[in-house]
Amino acid sequence: MRILFITSFPPFPIDRTGGGIRSRLLIDALKKIGSVGIFYLNYRGADHDISHELSPLFADGSLMLEQSVKIGGQGKIYAHADKALRALGMIWGRKLAAAGLRVDIGARKAIEDLVASKKYDLVVARLSRPTAVSGLLDVDNIPLIVDADDWEPSRVTTQLNVVPWYNILVRAYLHRMLGGAEYLGQRILERADHVFLASETDTALISKITATTLPNLPLSNDGGEIVRLSQSNAKSRILFAVGQWSKAQNSDGMSWFIENSWPLILRKVPEARLRIAGSVSDALSKVWKRRKNLDLLGFIDDLTPEYEQAAAVVAPITWGGGTKIKVLEALAYGRVPVGTSHAFDGLADEPILNDVVVKSDDAEKLADGAVKLLCDHDFRSSQEIMTLKYYGDNYSISCFNEIVAKTVKSVVPAPRDSGGVATKQKRFFGPTR
């Protein structure tokens, strides 16, 4: 089988974010089914060349770069014009324009030509928004699986829910975005033969015939399963956090934790330290550094030593998908995550999960939970045992690959013949909310 994989996220380790990790997981799973061609939607600039970075990663010949298309046109003038048009669309536009989206003419033409050539049997597209930008929603003569990851209407609704009522302009902006996201969700359901979602909560919103939960998974530095750690040191008083803090969906929650929970923790455990890995803006760095016993580590290539010395892992995410992958990473290593309810939203087996993690949207209760982990080693040890069991029972690369293979087989049930692609199955549509 020949599969075209469309993505705006280069695969891990080229891109080390959650988006890059998921691209790598999908590519590895699809390579077990057939040959894979990457159609790269380049948002990163005309000088960004992915071809030489891919070569050493996939030297076995089962993966190739089919095409790279610069999104937003070539040059700064075209890029600024594209941003301006999308901004105007969000104010006055309808349908996809209300979500700040415009179909890229170059990408759509390239995809139409590839589909017409009958070179591929199946298209797998990463994320709803790039799928729309690529023009795939208007190309209907090839089977399509969309890896939506986070469901756009849910993502925008969550963001809207944390904006205060008096912030009228931001709320008006998000309401426009939500209308566009709901239209995008409906178009995805109409066009796609199947949709992957990372969250059990999102999957429950959609007809189970058209959607499957395909959970995010953390990866080790070599792209494999994370090796579980031994139990944490009884003397450890370290809380660890990692993320791309330049993104508001990650930093908003951490700022809230540092402002409200961290002082309460230090009051009871003066020797406690909060170690934060990942990129932080200069402005945010100045604010966070004002707090006692807080270390900003910057980018760290190998996080294992940090997890090893940590007593627990902090994940106070209040909206978006963001560092939810880091919750799973903590569980995989055998460290107890401490976070807000949103940080755990959509993870498997919620009743068991709630017994494993420290979860609260109240700053004082979250601090108390962290203090108990820091000071009560017997309790911490029992929780660490439970984290490893929970993760092992619910998450693995082999299960991920099995879900992908089963879905591909259902979407393309017959091998391609000389006349074209296999006949598509009847679609079933469900609600977007």
The pTM assigned to this predicted structure is: 0.84
Q: CATH says 2-220+397-411 is which class? A: alpha beta
Which pLDDT value is given to residue 48?
67
DSSP 63-87: EEEEEEEETT-SSHHHHHHHHHHHH
Of 116-120, 228-232, 237-241, 422-426, the one with minimum mean pLDDT is 422-426
DSSP 383-401: HHHHHHHHHHHH--HHHHH
Please say if the pLDDT value at position 57 is more than 80.
no
Q: CATH says 238-394 is which class? A: alpha beta
More confident call, 432 vs 198: 198
Residue 247 DSSP label: S
Q: 343 in helix, strand or coil?
A: helix
Which pLDDT value is given to residue 411?
94
Mean pLDDT of 117-129: 95
Whether the Cβ atoms of residue 132 and residue 144 lie closer than 8 Å to each other: no
d(Cα 283, Cα 110) in Å, to the nearest integer?
41
Whether the Cβ atoms of residue 124 and residue 285 lie closer than 8 Å to each other: no
Please say if the pLDDT value at position 426 is more than 60.
no
Which pLDDT value is given to residue 200?
86
Query: Are both 2-220+397-411 and 238-394 of the same fold?
Result: yes
Total H helices, total E strands in the chain: 17, 13
Mean pLDDT of 75-92: 65
Please choose, from the candidates 291, 269, 264, the residue with its C-alpha nearest in 3D space to the C-alpha of residue 374. 269
Please say if the pLDDT value at position 310 is more than 90.
yes
- What percent of the chain is modeled with pLDDT above 70? 86
Query: Quick one: pLDDT band at residue 66, thresholds 50, 70, 90?
Result: confident
d(Cα 137, Cα 121) in Å, to the nearest integer?
17
What's the chain's Rg over C-alpha atoms? 22
The mean pLDDT value of the chain amounts to 87
Whether the Cβ atoms of residue 195 and residue 126 lie closer than 8 Å to each other: no
Q: How far is CA 296 from the centre of its chain?
A: 23
d(Cα 222, Cα 203) in Å, to the nearest integer?
30
Please say if the pLDDT value at position 71 is more than 60.
yes
Please say if the pLDDT value at position 282 is more than 70.
yes
Please say if the pLDDT value at position 99 is more than 70.
yes
DSSP 4-17: EEEESSPPTTTS-S
Please say if the pLDDT value at position 349 is more than 70.
yes
Whether the Cβ atoms of residue 359 and residue 344 lie closer than 8 Å to each other: yes
pLDDT digits (tens, 9 = 90+) for 139-188: 989 999 999 988 888 888 988 988 888 899 999 989 998 999 999 999 99
Please say if the pLDDT value at position 75 is more than 60.
no
> Does residue 13 have a cis peptide bond before it, meaning omega lies within 30 degrees of 0?
yes
Give the count of beta carbons closer than 10 Å to the beta carbon of residue 290. Answer: 8
What the block records as the tokens of 33 is 């089914």
Which pLDDT value is given to residue 432?
34
Domain ranges for the chain, please list them: 2-220+397-411, 238-394
Q: Token match 């990129």: residue?
A: 279
Mean pLDDT of 237-242: 98
Please say if the pLDDT value at position 416 is more than 80.
no
d(Cα 248, Cα 208) in Å, to the nearest integer?
32
More confident call, 322 vs 20: 20
Please say if the pLDDT value at position 58 is more than 60.
yes
Query: Quick one: pLDDT band at residue 425, thresholds 50, 70, 90?
Result: very low
Which pLDDT value is given to residue 417?
43
Give 251: exposed, middle or buried? Use CB within 10 Å, 0-12, 13-18, 19+: buried
More confident call, 345 vs 322: 345
